[in-house]
Amino acid sequence: MSKADVAGKNEQAWFYSKEVKDHFFNPRNIFKTKEEAEKYKADGLGIVGSPACGDIMKVWIKVDKKSDRIKEFKYQTFGCASAIASTSVLSVMATEKGGMKLEKAMKLTPKDILKRLHGLPPRKIHCSVLGDQALRAAINDYFKKTGQEERIEEKKQ
């Protein structure tokens, strides 16, 4: 790929949608440093990784206990452009319009993330799977911390 392709002057060279590129180059709700993440007082934390690709995602959430909605979604993703964009768009999906209800957030799928990104290359689709798993782990952690074990759900594969 030439420098012009990387700079975006030749849109044909990119295998990613405009949404993927936007969320990769301008990630939302991301912790840029370890110190930022360590200072954050989260209600729930989810960590997932994929040995197949080496990507690891950490998701921190804050929950509005009265409305049962996600009010904040922060993350760190160690991985490729697809993994970063997938987590970034998921963070927006979970917090927009007053925050997503926890019940609805538990039902998010990789297809939901892919739809919002307008797709990923076939060999990168596994990156979108990590985001919903990390969010679900963070919500389950919140349920555990708040004595709501009966609400914990494991994703059926």
Q: What is the pTM of this model?
A: 0.84
Task: Find the catalytic residue in 37, 53, 80, 152.
Answer: 53
Specify if 23 maps to a domain: yes
Domain residues for 42? 16-145
Tens-digit pLDDT profile for the chain (157 aa)? 444 444 444 444 557 889 989 998 999 999 999 999 999 999 999 999 866 667 789 999 999 999 999 999 999 988 888 889 999 999 999 999 999 999 999 999 999 999 999 988 777 777 777 889 999 999 999 999 999 999 998 765 4
Any domain includes 74: yes
Radius of gyration of the chain from Cα atoms? 16
Partners of 65 in the beta sheet?
Answer: none
Q: Would 106 be classed as within a structural domain?
A: yes
pLDDT value at residue 17: 87
Instruction: Tell me if 66 is assigned to some domain.
Output: yes
pLDDT of 157: 43
Q: What is the pLDDT of residues 111-154, one digit of tens each?
A: 999 999 998 877 777 777 788 999 999 999 999 999 999 999 87
Distance in angstroms (rounded) separating the CA atoms of residues 76 and 49: 12
53 is catalytic: yes
- Number of domains, the chain: 1
Catalytic residue, candidates 57, 81, 127, 135:
127
Residue at 62 is within a domain: yes
Q: Does 112 map to a domain?
A: yes
Tell me what pLDDT residue 56 has.
86
The answer to whether 75 touches 134, Cβ cutoff 8 Å, is yes
pLDDT at 129: 74
- In-domain check, residue 96: yes
Asked if the structure places residue 108 within a domain, the reply is yes
- Return d(Cα 75, Cα 28) in angstroms, integer: 9
- Residue 25 sits in a domain whose CATH number is 3.90.1010.10
- Farthest CA pair distance, the chain: 54
Active-site residue flag, 80: no
